[in-house]
Amino acid sequence: MQESKRYAARAGLVQALLLPLLIAACDRPAPAPSPTASAAPGEATVARPAGPERLVLAFGDSLYAGYGLDRGQSLPDAIQARLRRGGINATIVNAGVSGDTTAAGRQRLGFVLDNLPRKPDLVLLGLGGNDVLRQIPATETRANMTAMLDDLHRRGLPVVLTGMKAPPNLGADYVTAFDAIWPDLARRDRAALYPFVLDGVIGNLALMQADRVHPNPAGVARIADRVTPLVAARLTPAG
């Protein structure tokens, strides 16, 4: 019972923090469908991957872990399916942990990397939403993200960043400092960047779970359609 009360309180706080983003998203015109739009969720497809296996680590929070979704419906699962349909023999290891802040991710990143079957060909990195929830200072979020990227750089691992944005009700100073983290680090590290992981999804009730924070399978499909080309470009040799 206490756990249920804590969850309800936390869910209420999440909605209060993200409501301005929801409203703003509703005010924007709907984005055009991706040219790589996939089959509807649950539709059977035949994967025909080819070439050497590409190992990808998806390291993030509940948006990667697949909070509220059935097994096989997470964002890493959806990206893996699209890569394979596109002919890339990719296996994505889902290391998403619901509730993780950037500080928690920083603490476990090395352990996860050291326990993979081999060095990954790419890391998909997505954290920051829980930092907003807890209103962690943007300087701390930046320091944690920087430390993780420094570790990945030392290991010679290319990165695709899926960014996060702060809702405007946290104040202009916080929003400016927080939102700048991902583009700044992407430029510094020459990492591929999808600026806001929930872009075009949050605020659309048809694409969100009842908590209005986490995407449903249709929302995951929308995100995967947009992120997959970035991942595929990093896994495909130039030329």
100-159 pLDDT, tens digit per residue, is: 999 999 999 999 999 999 999 999 999 999 999 999 999 999 999 999 999 999 999 999
Q: Of residues 62, 77, 100, 131, which has the active-site annotation?
A: 62
Q: What angle do helix axes 172-179 and 138-154 make, rounded to 10 degrees? A: 0
Asked, for residue 38, whether it belongs to a domain, the answer is no
Which uninterrupted H or E stretch holds 89? strand 88-94
Q: Other C-beta atoms within 10 Å of 135: how many?
A: 14
Q: What global pTM score does this model have?
A: 0.81
Residue pLDDT, tens place only, 5-41: 444 444 444 444 444 444 333 333 333 333 333 334 4
Asked, for residue 34, whether it belongs to a domain, the answer is no
Per-residue pLDDT for 42 more than 50? no
Asked, for residue 226, whether it belongs to a domain, the answer is yes
Q: Of residues 61, 77, 214, 225, which has the active-site annotation?
A: 214
Residue 209 domain boundaries = 2-28+50-235
> What distance in Å separates the CA atoms of residue 217 and residue 207, rounded to the nearest whole number?
7
Told to judge if 153 belongs to the known catalytic residues of this protein, a careful annotator would answer no
Asked, for residue 44, whether it belongs to a domain, the answer is no
Per-residue pLDDT for 231 more than 50? yes
Structure tokens at 143: 């320091």
Residues 6+ apart with CB under 8 A from 87: 48, 49, 50, 51
Asked, for residue 188, whether it belongs to a domain, the answer is yes
Asked, for residue 135, whether it belongs to a domain, the answer is yes
The three-class DSSP label of residue 54 is strand
Asked, for residue 39, whether it belongs to a domain, the answer is no
Q: What residues pair up with 228 in beta bridges, in sequence order?
A: none
Domain CATH code at residue 224: 3.40.50.1110
Q: Kindly state the percentage of the chain with pLDDT values over 70.
A: 79
Which of 84, 81, 126 is CA-nearest to residue 217? 81
Max Cα distance, the chain (Å): 58
Told to judge if 62 belongs to the known catalytic residues of this protein, a careful annotator would answer yes
Told to judge if 211 belongs to the known catalytic residues of this protein, a careful annotator would answer yes
Report the domain count for the chain: 1
Asked, for residue 184, whether it belongs to a domain, the answer is yes
